[in-house]
Amino acid sequence: MDYGQRKVAELKIELKKRGAKVTGTKEKLIERLNDYDRNNSFKSNKNDNSNLSSEINYVIEWPEEKLYKSVDSTTVLPNFDIININTYFLELYKDSIGMSDYSAVHRRGYNMLQNNYLLALVTANTSTHIFFKGQVHSENTKALTYFASIAICNGSGSIIQSVCECVAGKGPKAICKHVSVLCYAILKFREQNKWFIKMTPTQKKQVWHVPKKNKLDVSPKKAENLSYEIAEYNVCKKYKRSTCYDPRPQSSISQGKEWAATVRNKVINYCSLSQKRIGLCGILDSANMQDVIHDHDYLPFPLHHQLILNKISVSHLF
C-alpha cells in the first residue's frame, strides 16, 4: 500500500488502529506502517511454524530443547570474529536481496544489542558444532518477541545455518536483524567477556538504600594549589556573570601589569601616606638613594629639601 499520498494525521490514525507508536516524522510513520504490513501487524500465530517446519532442508539437525543451557562466563565459544559475520551476510545478500540492505541489517542488529533487545540466550554443544538460541524483542513493538537460532562450526567459526520466527528469518539461512543480534552478542563476549543480555528486575542490585553522592566537590583546596594566572582572571573580569578574584582595578589588568609591581606600589604608597611600616616592607628591595633625586625631578624643590620640608626621614624610603 502506498502511504506516501496520505497526510500525517491519516497515517497516525492507521498506526493507532494497529496499536503502534505515532511519534516521529512522516518518513518514520510510513516506514513503521510498512513494517506492520510485512509482519501482519506483529500478531504472533502460535500454530505458524513455517520457518521451523520439517519441509526445510537443514544442513544439520537442531538439538533438543532439553540440551540447551543458559550462557555464562564459562560458556565454550567457537573461534568466531567479525570476518565470519561479514562473510555469512555478504554471501546471502549478494545472492538474494542485494548489497543495499547489507549495512542496514548490521547497524540495526548492533544497535538492538546495545539497547538491551536480547532477553535470553542459551547454547548447546556437539562434537562439531555449537548452537545458540536467543529471544529478541521486536524493534517496533516490545510486546512481541522472536526466537532466533544459529549453528556455528566448532573449528572454523563459520555460520552453517540460522533461522528466526520473523518474516525475514526463513531457514536454513536467515538474513534478519535478530540473527545479527545473536552474532554480535557472541562477538562482544569474546572481546569484553560480558554478555549483553537484558537483566531482569531481580538480577539488578538494590540501590534505593545507597546514600546519594554529592554532585559538587566541596573538599577544601590548599592555597598553594590555587591559580593566580592573569589571563584566567582577565576572562572572568570581562564577563560579569563569573566571579573574579583579582582585587586590582580593570585598568591594571588590561595593561598587563605584574602582581609584584602592583603590590609593591600599594605598600610604598600606604606607608608613605600613613607613616607606618608593615611586615611586607621587609621583603621589598630598598630604594637606591643615589637615583632617588633623578626619579623625583617633578618636585618644586630638590628631593632632600622637600623631605626636610615635609619632615620625613630618609630612612622611611624603600
Task: Say what the pLDDT of residue 239 is.
Answer: 46
pLDDT over 90 percentage in the chain:
13
Domain check: are 67 and 141 in the same one? yes
* Residue 206, in any domain of the structure: no
Q: 19-23, 37-41, 181-185: which range is least confident on average? A: 37-41
Domain check: are 86 and 32 in the same one? no
Domain check: are 173 and 94 in the same one? yes
Domain check: are 53 and 17 in the same one? no
Higher pLDDT, 216 or 283: 283
Domain check: are 153 and 113 in the same one? yes
Distance from the Cα of residue 104 to its chain's centroid: 22
**Distance in angstroms (rounded) separating the CA atoms of residues 258 and 237:** 16
Domain check: are 93 and 186 in the same one? yes
Domain check: are 22 and 138 in the same one? no
Domain check: are 16 and 153 in the same one? no
| Prediction pTM value | 0.53
* Residue 198, in any domain of the structure: no
The parent domain of residue 58 ranges over 44-192
Chosen domain end from 127, 158, 192:
192
Q: Is the confidence at residue 55, as pLDDT, over 70?
A: no
The pLDDT tens digits for 89-110 are 777 666 554 455 667 787 888 8
* Residue 157, in any domain of the structure: yes
Task: Say what the pLDDT of residue 232 is.
Answer: 47
Domain check: are 167 and 58 in the same one? yes
Evaluated on CA atoms 192, 195, 197, 202, the torsion sign reads negative
Domain check: are 82 and 185 in the same one? yes
Q: 8-22, 98-112, 160-174, 223-237: which range is least confident on average? A: 223-237
Q: Is the confidence at residue 132, as pLDDT, over 90?
A: yes
Domain check: are 55 and 184 in the same one? yes
Confidence of residue 148 (pLDDT cuts 50, 70, 90): very high
Distance from the Cα of residue 96 to its chain's centroid: 37
Domain check: are 69 and 174 in the same one? yes
* Residue 243, in any domain of the structure: no
